[in-house]
């Protein structure tokens, strides 16, 4: 191969691919290149939590073994520790640091998917379309906005690991084994075992496909050799990350993932099934893979016209923007897992055109992961998997299994484009496959768009119960109990719920028509190619552009909207020792008061610079034993500035005043002396330890 041929066939397509990936990252995260920082909740928590670890390492040159910045204290090696033996991870850091995050996540996810497709024999120009479909997945933008950094890096390296496994089993065995060992080492080093676990299941499905092919051909020896090389690659990858894996395994038994000695079945290990399946993707919610707003979008998305008009007569028009449009079964969500209408159409076409060694294992693992994501909606199947799959009961948020589906769909779509690129499909078969794919994807969109409110109640019944209860509580707190009793709250709740359901149906219909448009555009491009009106290059470019525009439009309008958020850090001011623990402040985005209800499994957490474990005598007292009539005592942290002065002070966060003992009987805690029950005490001066004097 001469230099001109090399540049035309290899170098120029590779340079074009990298440039397109970088441009996509720039478009998605434009504020980053203006010097702005994306507000990421989990990143803020992490940076605050490891501050004392980094300070200890800088002062002593050693890693601490314990930190008090997380929960009530925990091993520091689970948060931040420098493992010198992770050579592969350390060598990769300068490479992935070329493009800074968060744009670097999108760029390297596209590069990893592109390299995987090259290993699978896909043309470099066709692989660009599939790489963009993977890198622009809406789920990536949601977890980037939330700050799930380790999860995102695991998803970046996963395609490269799968490409190495494919090459080991179907291509160059030794080269594939080397790539698998390298990529698996990076995947494990990303330190998100759940993502790695799901893709190991996908790798197992690939191996089963090869085992079936070997069984039919009655040639087991090549498969055994390739399996041995693949297993050796896994051993090397695990050995390069032995220290973190060992420490994590040792600590698991002391966490909720190790079971509970107080449970009825004390020998059972793993998470509680109800906790593990709290975030389950419902069967109806699975339509968001094709129509993103089928369930209303995100939990932070409010209503505007119809709901606001329904609440105007009651003087609550502004409340419409605070009500969640999302009506799915998850406790809350930052947005839908949308795979792209154009990508799904091409994936169906790819399934119809691909060989049997491709189609069945990809369809099987996609269906299996979808069932895992349904979680508590098919609890019998989920509990069976908890028992059969080793280690599966250690993971929560089962909806995360859809990450494999968002990998298989771009892969199938690329297989369709590659078959069209080669032009080796009989015209009759191609027309029949095109009709079936357009009928399945487009027909489903048409049914959803035309059916509208006839298909579901769009959460009307549940919203009516919730809104009625909220209006009753509002009237009760305002001292207007008669409105709660005469049916006014019920009337307001039903009116608001009807408007909410109607607006949700309108959102779904509009999005279904939009998805239908992208399906028709993609099908039209394929039809023009079949008729000979456009060439294969134009078809590939059109398909890649449609998938990118489709996904990017949803990425920037749903969920966290990373391109539109800026981060303004407030100055670090821990305050004096006696100051009360401050409330968490919004970092670049408003935090609604309803989050206490939306986050029941976790509750709120403070940035760890502000929330420290309380030492010895400064702990809140659980119960006062000094007087018989006292039920509950709660004392603030000692205030050095106030010292021994007698005063009530400002109201604390829970409404209780300084040094006041909550009393039983008919008297209130701040009632006059004559109305207080026996045993109650007036506010007292603090002693040296911050406790009331006897």
Q: Tally Cβ neighbours within 10 Å of residue 674.
A: 6
In whole angstroms, what is the distance from residue 332 CA to residue 326 CA? 8
Which of 666, 678, 693 lies closest to 629, judged by CA?
678
- Taking residues 384-407, report their average pLDDT: 91
Burial class (CB in 10 A: 0-12, 13-18, 19+), 416: buried
pLDDT at 181 over 70: yes
Q: What are phi and psi of 671, to 5 degrees?
A: -75, 160
Q: Which residue has the higher pLDDT, 544 or 565?
A: 544
For 209, half-sphere exposure in the C-beta direction (CA atoms, 13 angstrom radius) is 21
Provide the pLDDT for residue 551: 93
Please name which of 293, 540, 252 lies closest in space to residue 421, comparing C-alpha atoms: 540
Range name among 66-80, 244-258, 617-631, 679-693 with the lowest pLDDT average? 617-631
Please state the rounded mean pLDDT for residues 665-675: 41
User: Stretch 466-473: mean pLDDT, rounded?
Assistant: 82
Q: What pTM value is reported for the model?
A: 0.78
Nearest to 538 by CA among 548, 528, 547, 550: 528
Total count of residues recorded for the chain: 694
Top pLDDT among 519 and 613 is at 519
Coil vs helix vs strand at 74: strand
- The 3 state secondary structure assigned to 428-493 is HHHHHHHHHHHHHHHHHHHHHHHHHHHCCCCCHHHHHHHHHHHHHHHHHHCCCHHHHHCCHHHHHH
pLDDT (tens digit per residue) in 651-660: 444 444 443 3
**Three-state DSSP class for 177?**
helix
Query: Average pLDDT in the 500-504 region?
Result: 86
Mean pLDDT value across residues 194-219: 92
Average confidence (pLDDT) over 333-352: 92
Residues 6+ apart with CB under 8 A from 24: 106, 107, 110, 132, 135, 136, 548, 552
pLDDT tens sequence across 126-171 = 999 999 999 999 999 988 888 888 899 999 999 999 999 999 999 8
Residue-wise pLDDT for 101-121, tens only, equals 889 999 999 999 999 999 999
Ranges of beta strands (E only) in 87-173 are none
């Amino acid at each position: 191969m001469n230099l001109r041929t090399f540049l035309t066939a290899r170098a120029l397509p590779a340079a074009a691919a990298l440039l397109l990936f970088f441009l996509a990252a720039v478009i998605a995260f434009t504020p980053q290149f203006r010097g702005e920082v994306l507000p990421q909740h989990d990143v803020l928590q992490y940076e605050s939590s490891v501050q004392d670890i980094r300070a200890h390492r800088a002062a002593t040159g050693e890693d601490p073994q314990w930190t008090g910045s997380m929960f009530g204290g925990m091993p520091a090696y689970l948060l931040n520790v420098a493992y010198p033996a992770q050579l592969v991870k350390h060598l990769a850091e300068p490479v992935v640091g070329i493009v800074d995050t968060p744009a670097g996540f999108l760029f390297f996810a596209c590069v990893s998917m592109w390299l995987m497709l090259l290993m699978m024999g896909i043309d470099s120009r066709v692989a660009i379309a599939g790489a963009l479909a993977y890198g622009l997945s809406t789920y990536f933008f949601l977890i980037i906005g939330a700050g799930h950094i380790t999860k995102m890096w695991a998803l970046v390296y996963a395609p490269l690991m799968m490409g190495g496994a494919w090459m080991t089993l179907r291509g160059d065995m030794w080269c594939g084994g080397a790539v698998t060992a390298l990529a698996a080492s990076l995947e494990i080093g990303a330190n998100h075992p759940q993502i790695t676990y799901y893709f190991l299941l996908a790798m197992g499905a690939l191996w089963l496909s090869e085992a079936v092919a070997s069984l039919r051909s009655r040639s087991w020896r090549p498969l055994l050799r390739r399996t041995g090389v693949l297993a050796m690659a896994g051993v090397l990858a695990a050995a390069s990350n032995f220290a973190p894996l060992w420490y994590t395994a040792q600590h698991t038994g002391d966490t909720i993932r190790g079971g509970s000695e107080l449970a009825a079945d004390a020998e059972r290990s793993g998470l509680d099934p109800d906790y593990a399946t709290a975030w389950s993707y419902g069967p109806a919610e699975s339509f968001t893979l094709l129509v993103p707003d089928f369930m209303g979008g995100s939990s932070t998305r409010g209503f505007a016209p119809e709901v606001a008009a329904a609440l105007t007569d009651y003087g609550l028009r502004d409340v419409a923007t605070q009500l969640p449009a999302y009506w799915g079964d998850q406790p809350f969500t930052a947005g839908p897992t949308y795979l792209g209408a154009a990508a799904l159409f091409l994936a169906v076409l790819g399934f119809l055109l691909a060989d049997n060694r491709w189609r069945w294992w990809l369809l099987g693992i996609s269906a299996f992961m979808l069932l895992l994501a349904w979680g508590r909606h098919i609890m019998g199947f989920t509990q069976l998997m908890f028992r059969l799959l080793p280690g599966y009961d250690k993971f929560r948020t089962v909806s995360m299994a859809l990450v494999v589906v968002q990998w298989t769909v771009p892969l199938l779509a690329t297989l369709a484009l590659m078959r069209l690129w080669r032009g080796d499909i009989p015209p009759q078969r191609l027309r029949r496959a095109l009709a079936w794919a357009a009928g399945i994807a487009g027909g489903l969109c048409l049914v959803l768009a035309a059916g509208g409110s006839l298909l579901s109640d769009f959460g009307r019944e549940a919203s009516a119960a919730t809104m009625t209860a909220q209006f009753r509580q509002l009237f009760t707190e305002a001292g207007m109990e008669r409105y709660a009793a005469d049916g006014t709250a019920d009337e307001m709740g039903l009116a608001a719920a009807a408007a909410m359901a109607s607006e949700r149906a309108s959102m779904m219909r509009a999005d279904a028509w939009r998805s239908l448009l992208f399906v028709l555009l993609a099908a039209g491009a394929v039809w023009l190619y079949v008729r000979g009106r456009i060439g294969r290059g134009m078809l590939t470019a059109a398909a890649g552009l449609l998938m990118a525009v489709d996904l990017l439009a949803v990425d920037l309008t749903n969920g966290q909207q990373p391109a539109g958020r800026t981060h303004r850090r407030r100055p670090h001011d821990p305050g004096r020792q006696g100051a009360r623990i401050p409330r968490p402040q919004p970092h670049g985005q408003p935090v609604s008061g309803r989050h206490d209800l939306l986050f029941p499994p976790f509750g709120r957490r403070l940035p760890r610079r502000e929330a420290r474990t309380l030492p010895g005598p400064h702990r809140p007292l659980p119960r006062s034993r000094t007087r018989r009539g006292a039920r509950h005592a709660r004392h603030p942290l000692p205030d050095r500035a106030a010292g021994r002065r007698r005063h009530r002070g400002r109201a604390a966060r829970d409404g209780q005043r300084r040094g006041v003992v909550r009393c039983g009987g008919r008297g209130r805690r701040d009632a006059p002396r004559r109305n207080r029950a026996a045993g109650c005490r007036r506010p007292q001066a603090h002693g040296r330890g911050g406790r009331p004097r006897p």
